[in-house]
Amino acid sequence: MTQPFPLDQSGQWCELLRPRAGAPRPAIFLDRDGTLIELVEYLSAPEKVRLIEPAVALIRAANARDWPVVVITNQSGIGRGLYGWNDFAAVQTRLLTLLEAANCVLDAVMACPALPDSNAPCRKPNPGMLLSAARLLPIDLASSWIAGDSAIDLDAGKRADLRHGWLAPTGYGPRDVDDARALVGSGFEAVLLEPLSGLAARLTG
Ligand SMILES: [Mg+2]
């Protein structure tokens, strides 16, 4: 039977939306829940998808500069059996529709269904989703940015040898600021609790 969803051998959602070739480029790795869309616990209903405008501005700026944009999202609700990949796919379709209406596009979407205590390679703070994306697309990890509302997003970036993180002020951002600050060092810098439109401005500036 043909697998209806873009799952890799490890069971991770691994969806390439815009194949590209050429020299490695910096990418924007973007968390989904609480960063790109408003935080809804265990989101499975497409009608609850609400874009967060500064993140949309960031995607638009990355598109204009031809930097790949990769969404990386922990989805333990799947591992917990609260919803399925069909629900994730419906949310994903809604998200892509809203982004298209906002004149911006994603290059790839990665999602990890594993439980928090699984230590699965794809589960943030592990770097598996970033590393998988860097195998699908020509990405220069060291000059890429990780943007998210949780310290584990930035930690995943740091573990993938990124040097730049951005903790969004939305979602869990205010809760996680101390944990995110603790990641700074050893070649990793982070901007904390500034709107993502600030990163968009850096890309266009
Ligand atoms: Mg998040």
| Sequence spans of domains, the chain | 13-204
Q: Which of 33, 149, 153, 176 is catalytic?
A: 33
What length does the chain have? 205
**Does the active-site annotation cover 33?**
yes
User: Distance, CA 1 to ligand 1 centroid (Å)?
Assistant: 34
CA triplet 11, 15, 18: central angle to 5 degrees? 160
User: Distance, CA 73 to ligand 1 centroid (Å)?
Assistant: 7
Residues 41, 25: Cα–Cα separation, whole Å: 33
User: Distance, CA 96 to ligand 1 centroid (Å)?
Assistant: 18
Residues 58, 189: Cα–Cα separation, whole Å: 19
pLDDT attached to residue 205:
80
Cis peptide before 174 (omega within 30 of 0): no
Secondary element (H or E) of residue 18 = none
User: Distance, CA 34 to ligand 1 centroid (Å)?
Assistant: 4
Residues 53, 203: Cα–Cα separation, whole Å: 16
Residues 77, 74: Cα–Cα separation, whole Å: 9
CATH number attached to the domain at 13-204: 3.40.50.1000
**Does the active-site annotation cover 31?**
yes
User: Distance, CA 22 to ligand 1 centroid (Å)?
Assistant: 31
Q: Which of 31, 87, 107, 176 is catalytic?
A: 31
User: Distance, CA 38 to ligand 1 centroid (Å)?
Assistant: 9
Residues 114, 44: Cα–Cα separation, whole Å: 16
pLDDT attached to residue 1:
56
pLDDT attached to residue 2:
66
> Angle at which helices 197-204 and 53-65 pack, to 10 degrees?
20
Chunked into runs of 10 residues, the chain (205 residues) has average pLDDT values of 85 97 97 98 98 98 98 98 97 98 98 97 98 98 98 98 98 98 97 98 92
pTM of full prediction above 0.95: yes
